[in-house]
């Protein structure tokens, strides 16, 4: 509950009240009417989430995470459970972060139970292997979520008896600038190459194995919140490579 007292932001679901009496433990949140980002991306009954809404969602989520990490007056809050099912959309598709059940204040080492209960496929290497949680743990999860927004793919894709993690598929495509393959086929005709480039670059940097090499969420916001210059040919951009 201490975490929620300070988590007030346009892109964070608001806590209206709570009850903690004997066997009654109740949290009351504001109602967000438009389902989760996961539903909009993957449920077959959902309408297509257009490119401009995906880009706007990426920016809104990044701003919510930036607030938790850098602007909250109580110090950095680590979400520890960032994934599409925990991002809710309003009627006008403003993304709002929810489910702070795993949230921690500042860097820490989490219990093995929390590691097991954490989101499969979204855990940063240092978190999965050593239980180390920091703001850069959230940055890693945000990178995976970005790849999902770009591609419309689930974090784990089943192929018979095998599963492929989205990073195994996405990282080589970014390294070779094969972004036309990375982007969801359903939005290929409506996306802008400049915005796609910046989202892909941000995602790639966020999932670096070494947490110290990942950007802060403030840096991520600056990278993806760019003016659309309508550059349709990526060869017009000078791109040495992402790993610099």
User: Which CATH fold would you assign to the domain 4-236?
Assistant: Transferase(Phosphotransferase); domain 1 (1.10.510)
Q: What is the pLDDT of residues 129-147, one digit of tens each?
A: 888 889 999 999 999 999 9
Token reading at 85:
């099912």
Long-range pairs of 87-91 with CB within 8 A, sequence gap ≥ 24: 87/36, 87/37, 87/38, 87/57, 87/61, 87/145, 88/13, 88/32, 88/34, 88/35, 88/36, 88/37, 89/32, 89/34, 89/35, 89/36, 89/37, 89/40, 89/57, 90/32, 90/33, 90/34, 91/33, 91/34
Q: What is the pLDDT of residues 22-81, one digit of tens each?
A: 888 887 888 999 999 999 999 988 899 999 999 999 999 999 999 999 998 878 999 999
pLDDT confidence of 117, banded at 50, 70, 90?
very low
Helix segments in 43-191, DSSP class H: 51-66, 112-117, 125-130, 135-151, 166-175, 179-182
- As to burial, measured by CB atoms within 10 angstroms (0-12 exposed, 13-18 middle, 19+ buried), residue 188 is exposed
**pTM score of the predicted model:** 0.87
Residue 92 bears catalytic tag: no
Catalytic position from the list 81, 99, 138, 184? 81
Question: CB of 78 within 8 A of CB of 106?
Answer: yes
Q: Where are the domains of the chain?
A: 4-236
């Amino acid at each position: 509950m201490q975490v929620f007292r300070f988590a007030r932001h346009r892109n964070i679901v608001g806590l209206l009240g709570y009850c903690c009496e004997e066997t009654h433990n109740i949290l009351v949140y504001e109602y967000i009417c438009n389902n989760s980002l996961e539903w909009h991306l993957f449920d077959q009954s959902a309408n297509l989430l257009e490119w401009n809404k995906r880009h706007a969602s990426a920016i809104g989520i990044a701003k919510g995470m930036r607030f938790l990490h850098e602007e909250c007056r109580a110090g950095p809050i680590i979400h520890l459970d960032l994934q599409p099912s925990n991002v809710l959309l309003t009627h006008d598709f403003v993304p709002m972060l929810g489910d702070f059940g795993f949230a921690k204040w500042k860097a820490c080492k989490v219990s093995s139970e929390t590691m097991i209960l954490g989101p499969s496929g979204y855990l940063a290497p240092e978190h999965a292997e050593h239980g180390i949680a920091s703001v850069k743990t959230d940055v890693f999860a945000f990178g995976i979520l970005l790849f999902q927004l770009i591609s419309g793919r689930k974090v784990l894709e089943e192929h018979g008896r095998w599963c492929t993690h989205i990073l195994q598929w996405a990282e080589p495509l970014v390294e070779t600038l094969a972004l036309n393959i990375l982007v969801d086929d359903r939005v290929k005709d409506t996306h802008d190459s400049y915005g796609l480039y910046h989202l892909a670059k941000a995602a790639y940097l966020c999932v670096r194995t070494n947490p110290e090499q990942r950007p802060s969420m403030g840096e991520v916001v600056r990278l993806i919140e760019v003016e659309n210059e309508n550059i349709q040919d990526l060869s017009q951009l000078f791109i040495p490579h992402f790993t610099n």
